[in-house]
Structure 1
Amino acid sequence: MSLTGIERAQAWIMRVFMGVLFALFRILSPWRSAEFRGLPPVSNPLLLMSAMQLSQKIRRREVSSVEVVEAFINRIQTVNPLINALVQDRFEAALLEAAQVDKLIQESSGGEEVLQDRLPLLGVPITIKESFALQGMPNATGVVFRRGVLSTRDAPPVALLKRAGAIPLGVTNTSEFCMWYESHNHLYGICNNPYDLARTSGGSSGGEGSVLGSGASVIGIGSDIGGSIRMPSFFCGVFGHKTSPGVVSNDCQYPDLSGCQPDYVSSGPMCRYAEDLLPMLKIMSGPNADRLSLSVDVDLRKLRFFSIPHDGCSPIVSSVDKQLIQAQRKVVERLEADLGVKVQEVFLPGLKYGFQIWNTYMGLPDKDGKPPTPFSVLFGEPGRPLWPLWEVARWMMGRSPHTMAAIVLSLIEMTNSSKPSPFILKQKEQLQKEFEELLGTDGVLLYPSHPLLAPKHHHPLFTPFNFAYTGIINILGLPSTQCPLGLSKEGLPLGVQVVTGRFLDRQSLAVALYLEKTFGGWRDPGAA
């Protein structure tokens, strides 16, 4: 059994149509390269410390929380006019909260250990993806009709991080409705990559990736239903972890998910330094943290390692860049040399249907049989559903409130069959079985975070299915950590995602620590 002629025709028609749309886009809305293609280097040493190091220094009174928060505010004010990552700040409130932290430490009689146990992030600044509710902050997700909507409470993982002592500096840019892998919308504008302002920071957590990659934040929070944590983290040279589903709460985010989509979304940490991933995940998981056994030590020498260099050459997905293939090969070589393990290269044929599997499962109904809300209905709120072809005409006249990416999603939805393909369902079932047998309880897989280096702005419109490399991991329900691996010859971040068995997040986080030590982790874009 294979894809039907109709399904192959749909894919071909969509590729041709996307090419025409992209050509129109370049003609009608040409992108002008940024005047400055890089950022100034980080000069304040406080900005070069992990969140764990900062919290320790604050607790020991070696530095005040006010000094730390001021350092990050100054960096944001320097770089944000170039990257457009932070869309609303709360600097005054953050400084007041930092002063309260310093007062608490001065008056505390419990000692550093007590503070560390109760408030592990005490006084450390953090940035929050704008799709999460943060009390008093916008929660529009780049949607024009939600301009002025403010959150009246905190999303559960945000509340847990604040309760641990973290101080939010503001909220960061996303793609429109968080449904595209470039953070661009008509409410806040486009977010730039800190390593090259003419390139995308990714999406939908692109603002988080950019502010972290620029050295203007040390920890952040993102969400991921098709790669929205891992792709921005990859493009911006930082660490990002897609958690095992059902561990970190996804409540109080916009937009609401429907159908079976909640089964495949994960909220998780985004960090410049690998050592912050595990403590952040422990805090964000709240009462579910025990399910991950994060306190159990991981001996990398006792794990089995596998490497898949590409998806098997899907005809609708770009070939993996040779520099990424080479970087993943170097990881294999170092693992074998340093740990004495044997990394087995494997190929799973079903991976080349990654997009089709993701797209099919995003359209399935929930357990009560209720189908997901169509994109056209969501994009048309608060009025009638959006008509994609008419919206293209409105966009060409400059009258559409939506980005071309949002319109394209509605067009792709139009080509979907009303019934899921039996072939695609079978491919997913086979892949699920193969991954479970491959990984077991001690298997670790290296797989590209994306087939290309950070694309130039708007180019994702011409390669709309490239997120399949991350999206398929969502559908399989597996945790995955994106890890930076240095820079390409163009000065752009290289990276790889590390995939492990469900609820074995601690294994990929341990590998992230090793890769940071081995390949250097995040690089200051101003000094790169």
Structure 2
Amino acid sequence: MVQDRFSLALQEAAQVDKLIEEETGGEDVLEDRLPLLGVPLSVKESFAVQGMSHTAGSLARRGILATVDAPAVAQLKRAGAIPLGVTNIPEQCMWIESHNHLYGMTRNPYNLDRIAGGSSGGEGSILGAAGSVIGVGSDIGGSIRFPSFSNGIFGHKPTPGIVSNDNQLPPFSGRQEELLSTGPMCRYAEDLLPMLKIMAGANVDKLSLNEKVDLKKLRFFTVPDCGEALFTNPVSEELKQAQRKVVERLEADLGVKVEEVHFPDLKHSYDMWFVSMSLPDQEGKLPDSFEKLLGEPGPPVWPLWELLKAMVGKSDHTIPAIFYALLSKMTSPPLSALKIREKLQEDFDQLLGTDGVLLYPTFTKVAPKHHHPLFAFYDLIYTAIFNVLGLPVTQCPLGLNEEGLPLGVQVVAGKLQDHLTIQMAVYLEKAFGGWRDPGAN
């Protein structure tokens, strides 16, 4: 009986295939209409995925489920991708380690004592561990790139304004959307391009994603560090060496010259990011304070009171979230940084143009141990500066260090030149091996 039903199903499927072939002239409509048919997808929990948890890592939002899909998620679902679930984040996405009192700590698949990064840390971890195939992250200061770096995968921060940022938490305010990008994360570089084409929707025509790239005709630059920035750790020698190996490989393989350049203003990167995050919108309304975001859907929290409660284990909020709320409340954005930002934007636009590619460290060291980011918060300037400048960046893995932890580098291009950084990711994957199975160590 089962054999008969199976045979009948095969016959019916063959008839359907024949009808489709006759109507379309043999074109593969499924491939055109559903390019991601059946591909497992995971999504950062800050995005709305209908019927799934949507808490922003806050105990106050426990049990809240999304009633709609964020546009980027909807685009991928319409292309055939199947959401497996949503992945962990820090509270309100404002930390570089993914930990909250609702879901706990996210760990790095290469070493459980190491962080998975933030704020798309759950995405980085599940993709690095081969628990999902493709993922969605968001990036306002490095939240796609730092987790991708920490977990040995590829992550792309698109040019701002290309992929919709709607229906995610926390809601952007002031002029923060100018810094925010939604983008793809994955283990294999070849998946970045089709994902971005789908996620961009109607804006895809603003990019040149179908343009063939001849890497030999590009101009290449490398910046070894940001200089002597206040409160920022120096870039480790192993990461500098990894970047130098990329330079050597490019020059040997492509016959190009990679020029080392320096921008003294990069030492002001944190000030530029902080003031950009604090700018009012066109109507003069300031961004929501972090203590307000922490308290939603209730009243704003009192950071000092929460710190005292945390000392005795009674706060609903993590120490990093309280620390960031205090930092934001006690420091004022230096408006002088706006002039520095304007000059640096002009310098980068002039340098990169439409055919320039730049290499830059992602962080100052490989994935730190848990809780250590409290002492390395300012190191996020290595990613955050490109949110300020509005440039597309692809984070690329470069193998593992002697401890078995991922190395990597950022590849940067001019505005709307996302295809250049993605093509570079494909090249670097072939040259350095791309993602490595953490279970094989």
- For normalisation by structure 1, the TM-score amounts to 0.79
Answer yes or no: is 1:177 the counterpart of 2:92.
yes
Aligned counterpart in structure 2 of residue 159 of structure 1, from 51, 65, 74: 74
Answer yes or no: is 1:252 the counterpart of 2:135.
no
Q: CA deviation at 1:107?
A: 3.9
Give the aligned partner of residue 89 of structure 1: none
SS in 1 for 2:379: coil
Q: Quote the Cα distance in structure 1 between the aligned partners of 2:206 and 2:123.
A: 27
SS in 2 for 1:413: helix
Residue by residue over 1:434-463, the C-alpha shift from the partner in whole angstroms, topping out at 9 and shown as x without a partner, is 101110111100001111110000100111
Aligned counterpart in structure 2 of residue 421 of structure 1, from 315, 330, 334: 334
Aligned counterpart in structure 1 of residue 297 of structure 2, from 369, 373, 382: 382
Give the aligned partner of residue 51 of structure 2: 136
Aligned counterpart in structure 2 of residue 498 of structure 1, from 397, 411, 416: 411
Q: Quote the Cα distance in structure 1 between the aligned partners of 2:14 and 2:274.
A: 51
Q: Quote the Cα distance in structure 1 between the aligned partners of 2:84 and 2:261.
A: 44
Give the aligned partner of residue 327 of structure 1: 242
Aligned counterpart in structure 1 of residue 420 of structure 2, from 507, 513, 526: 507
SS in 1 for 2:137: strand
Q: CA deviation at 1:285?
A: 0.3
Give the aligned partner of residue 287 of structure 1: 202
Answer yes or no: is 1:438 the counterpart of 2:325.
no
Task: Kindly report which structure 2 residues correspond to 1:19-418, keeping only aligned pairs within 5 A, or say none.
Answer: 107-108=16-17, 109-110=20-21, 113-417=28-332
Is contact 2:60–2:295 with CA below 8 Å preserved after alignment? no
AA matched with 2:138? S
Residue by residue over 1:470-526, the C-alpha shift from the partner in whole angstroms, topping out at 9 and shown as x without a partner, is 001001000000000000111100000000001100000000000000000000001
Q: CA deviation at 1:114?
A: 2.0
Equivalent pairs counted in the alignment come to 424
Q: Quote the Cα distance in structure 2 between the aligned partners of 1:429 and 1:105.
A: 62
AA matched with 1:493? P
Give the aligned partner of residue 384 of structure 2: 471
Q: Quote the Cα distance in structure 1 between the aligned partners of 2:71 and 2:229.
A: 38
- Cα 1:197/1:153, change in 2 over 3 Å: same
**RMSD (Å) for aligned C-alpha atoms:** 1.3
Residue by residue over 1:325-350, the C-alpha shift from the partner in whole angstroms, topping out at 9 and shown as x without a partner, is 00000000000000011000001011
Unpaired runs of 5+ residues, structure 2, are 1-11
Q: Percent identity?
A: 62
- Cα 1:122/1:382, change in 2 over 3 Å: closer
Answer yes or no: is 1:449 the counterpart of 2:367.
no
Q: CA deviation at 1:422?
A: 4.1
Residue by residue over 1:173-227, the C-alpha shift from the partner in whole angstroms, topping out at 9 and shown as x without a partner, is 1111111110000000000000000110000100000000001111101000000
Q: CA deviation at 1:315?
A: 2.5
- Cα 1:118/1:430, change in 2 over 3 Å: same
SS in 1 for 2:378: coil
Is contact 2:36–2:81 with CA below 8 Å preserved after alignment? yes
- Cα 1:401/1:517, change in 2 over 3 Å: same
Give the aligned partner of residue 527 of structure 1: 440
AA matched with 2:161? G
Aligned counterpart in structure 2 of residue 481 of structure 1, from 388, 394, 413: 394
Unpaired runs of 5+ residues, structure 1, are 1-102
Q: Quote the Cα distance in structure 1 between the aligned partners of 2:420 and 2:192.
A: 12
Q: Quote the Cα distance in structure 2 between the aligned partners of 1:444 and 1:368.
A: 36
Q: Quote the Cα distance in structure 1 between the aligned partners of 2:14 and 2:92.
A: 41
Answer yes or no: is 1:460 the counterpart of 2:373.
yes
